[in-house]
Every structure is written in structure tokens, then in C-alpha cells.
Amino acid sequence: MRQYVYFALSSESITAREMTAFLGIEPDETTVRGSRRTAPVANPVSHSWKIACRDGGLQVDEQINMVTDRLRPHARRIAELAEQLATQDPSPSPAVLQIVRYFNDSDEADSPQLPNSPDHPNLFGWHLDRAVLDFLAATGAVLDVDEYDMTPAAADE
């Protein structure tokens, strides 16, 4: 299994650089997604500012805690920016805690052979504790979980 977690702020009009200046926190990652229309000029349609945990071998709740522990001292500023972004952009939610998990990913070397052993923790279960729920509520963030089964299709299908 391969999994990662990130907290993102997204906007159609405010760049990741402007978000960084407002928050005073350097992001781990930024993205700019362009519009599908290129004429007369391609304009960015989405800017994202992200704090991420991509460390392998951790349970999802451990990854979530690593991200939210870094952001919790800045929750008030994050909430202010998320509210500003929500009033400027029509997107559903400018703040998101994203969890992405790939099951049966044969290319991933750290898949547990003996789940729940000290060397290979059980990565399947996870939970959100009160501190994480409070952080999501305080910042107006939504939770989005994407899970993908990467089992190769059988040859006879």
C-alpha cells in the first residue's frame, strides 16, 4: 500500500506565492493547473498551496497528525485566508485535508508482508481524533479521501 496526506488551500485568483505571504508559512508543494483553453492565452485556473506528508510506513492518522501539528499554530490565519478564498472563488471548498491511498500497488516496496508487526504496521485502519476534527472545523476545511485499487486486471477479463 502507498498513501499520503496533504492540506491544501486552492484559488482561481490568488497565487500560492500570495497565500505564502499571507500565511507566513512556506508550503511543501505548490501547483498551478492551467485552463483547457489556450487561445488567445492559457490562464491558470487553479493555484494550490500544500503542506504534505508522503513518509512511507506510517498510518494515515500519523500522517494527518504530522500535517495538522505543523499547521495548528497558524489555524486562525488559515481560516481567514480560507474564508477570503471562499468569497472570491466559486470552488466548493478552498481548504481541504486530502488523503490518497493506493491498495495493491505492486511497485511499492514498503507494502507490509506481516501486517501489525513492529517492522510493518497495519496501514489499513485510521481515525480522526478530536484535535484534527477541531482543526478542520476551525479552518473550514473539508476532508477528501481518495482510494484506488491497483490490482492488475486478470488477463481473461
Grid cell digits, residue 60: 494515515
pLDDT above 70 as % of the chain? 78
d(CA 122, CA 132): 21
Quick one: pLDDT at residue 58? 92
d(CA 139, CA 76): 7
pLDDT tens digit sequence for 68-96: 999 999 999 999 999 999 998 766 789 99
Identify the H or E element spanning 5. Answer: strand 2-11
Query: Given pLDDT bands bounded at 50, 70 and 90, which one contains residue 112?
Result: very low
Q: What is the DSSP letter of 64?
A: H
d(CA 128, CA 64): 8
Are residues 141 and 50 in contact, defined by beta-carbon separation less than 8 angstroms? Answer: no
